[in-house]
């Protein structure tokens, strides 16, 4: 199968034509024309689920997996597993990205290039990514070889920014494609991939001279995080007074009890709905940073 062409504006398409988005899609989808017609002058917002449709002027596109036809045959091209480690500047002191692969993918023994990015061969064991219907999110582990001390050096660098961090909070992307779509192959196509998986390092569970093991977690399964992040409070504004959320920049000044004062230095918001009305008006639009309706229903 040749590389799939990108979508084009104001173009006639026939039923069965397959196109990809003009930019790389982490969803791993292509789009099949299911209603013939002429495309619009601007690219549509592509769906992110297999089977979903989008109307593009008079054309209707249906989302399909970019690798389904390859993996559904009896002898599919080998699946290649790639990893990207993205550091966070606030936590780790840099925004560096490290790309690597296990080094045993389909007899590919050297470095791999995909979508213009080089992935270094590095002994890696990645386990526990399987999704189940049991209701709990997977908690994969990523074991990375440390024989040359590379990982220990990296951990020391990030811990110099945040003591004891050990790469916690770093983003790990798992990218899977087929060997035939790697750069350098006659059928190379950076858009042909499984949906990109995004994980975060939850903690370092082991470090030895030979190996460093990290536990990964979904962004929905990070220890210490609360959803929703804002508490539902009925009568106390949560915005900082005169901040962008509050938006008040006026010269009507009141103290914490709602009494009029003469200077901005004396101006203190009482954080009540009545405090907001004093500044924005009784019938004005109130940017009150709380939930006055909470507790009114059962």
In this prediction, residue 34 carries a pLDDT of 93
Confidence of residue 122 (pLDDT cuts 50, 70, 90): confident
Question: Mean per-residue pLDDT for 246-267?
Answer: 93
- Is 44 in contact with 25 (CB distance < 8 Å)? no
In this prediction, residue 106 carries a pLDDT of 55
- Is 254 in contact with 267 (CB distance < 8 Å)? yes
Question: Mean per-residue pLDDT for 106-115?
Answer: 78
In this prediction, residue 227 carries a pLDDT of 59
Confidence of residue 4 (pLDDT cuts 50, 70, 90): confident
Distance of alpha carbon 154 from alpha carbon 132, whole angstroms: 33
Confidence of residue 292 (pLDDT cuts 50, 70, 90): confident
Query: In sequence order, what are the residues at sequence separation of 6 or more whose Cβ sits closer than 8 angstroms to the Cβ of residue 93?
Result: 87, 157, 158, 160, 161, 162
Q: In the chain, what percentage of residues exceed pLDDT 70? A: 87
Distance of alpha carbon 169 from alpha carbon 217, whole angstroms: 10
Distance of alpha carbon 122 from alpha carbon 111, whole angstroms: 9
Distance of alpha carbon 64 from alpha carbon 50, whole angstroms: 5
Distance of alpha carbon 67 from alpha carbon 28, whole angstroms: 8
CATH code that applies to domain 79-217: 2.30.110
Smallest Cα–Cα separation from 156: which of 111, 207, 201?
207
Lowest-confidence pick of 124-133, 156-165, 207-216, 277-286: 124-133
Distance of alpha carbon 234 from alpha carbon 59, whole angstroms: 49
Confidence of residue 55 (pLDDT cuts 50, 70, 90): very high
Q: Is the pLDDT of residue 3 over 90?
A: no
Distance of alpha carbon 295 from alpha carbon 298, whole angstroms: 7
Distance of alpha carbon 118 from alpha carbon 41, whole angstroms: 35
Question: Mean per-residue pLDDT for 156-165?
Answer: 93
Domain boundaries, the chain: 12-66, 79-217, 231-293
Question: Mean per-residue pLDDT for 55-69?
Answer: 87
Lowest-confidence pick of 55-59, 69-73, 95-99, 249-253: 69-73
In this prediction, residue 51 carries a pLDDT of 87
In this prediction, residue 123 carries a pLDDT of 85
Q: Is the pLDDT of residue 283 over 90?
A: no
Q: Is the pLDDT of residue 254 over 80?
A: yes
Q: Is the pLDDT of residue 298 over 80?
A: no
In this prediction, residue 222 carries a pLDDT of 55
In this prediction, residue 291 carries a pLDDT of 86
- Is 48 in contact with 62 (CB distance < 8 Å)? no
In this prediction, residue 104 carries a pLDDT of 60
Confidence of residue 68 (pLDDT cuts 50, 70, 90): low
- Is 115 in contact with 24 (CB distance < 8 Å)? yes
Distance of alpha carbon 66 from alpha carbon 5, whole angstroms: 12
More confident residue, 174 or 297: 174
Smallest Cα–Cα separation from 31: which of 20, 39, 23?
20
């Amino acid at each position: 199968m040749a590389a799939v062409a990108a979508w084009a504006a104001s173009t006639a398409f026939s039923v069965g034509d397959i196109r990809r988005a003009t930019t790389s899609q982490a969803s791993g989808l292509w789009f099949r024309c299911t209603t013939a017609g002429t495309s619009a002058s601007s690219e549509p917002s592509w769906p992110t689920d297999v089977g979903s449709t989008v109307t593009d002027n008079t054309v209707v596109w249906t989302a399909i997996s970019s690798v389904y036809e390859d993996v559904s045959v009896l002898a599919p091209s080998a699946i290649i597993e790639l990893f990207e480690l993205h550091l966070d500047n606030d936590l780790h002191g840099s925004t560096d990205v490290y790309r690597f692969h296990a080094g045993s993918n389909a007899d590919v023994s050297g470095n791999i290039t995909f979508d213009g990015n080089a992935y270094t061969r590095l002994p890696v064991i990645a386990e526990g990514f399987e999704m189940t219907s049991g209701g709990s999110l997977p908690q994969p582990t990523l074991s990375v070889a440390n024989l040359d001390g590379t990982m220990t050096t990296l951990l020391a660098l990030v811990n110099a920014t945040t003591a004891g961090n050990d790469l916690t909070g770093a983003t790990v992307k798992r990218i899977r494609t087929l060997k035939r779509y790697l750069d350098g192959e006659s059928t190379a196509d950076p858009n042909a991939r499984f949906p990109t998986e995004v994980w975060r390092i939850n903690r370092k569970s082991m470090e030895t001279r030979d190996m460093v093991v990290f536990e990964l977690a979904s962004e929905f399964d990070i220890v210490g995080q609360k959803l929703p992040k804002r508490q539902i409070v009925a009568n106390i504004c949560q915005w900082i007074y005169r901040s962008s959320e509050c938006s008040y920049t006026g010269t009507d000044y009141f103290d914490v009890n709602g009494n009029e004062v003469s200077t901005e230095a004396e101006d203190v918001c009482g954080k009540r709905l009545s405090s907001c009305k004093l500044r924005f008006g009784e019938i004005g639009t109130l940017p009150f940073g709380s939930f006055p309706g909470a507790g009114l229903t059962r």
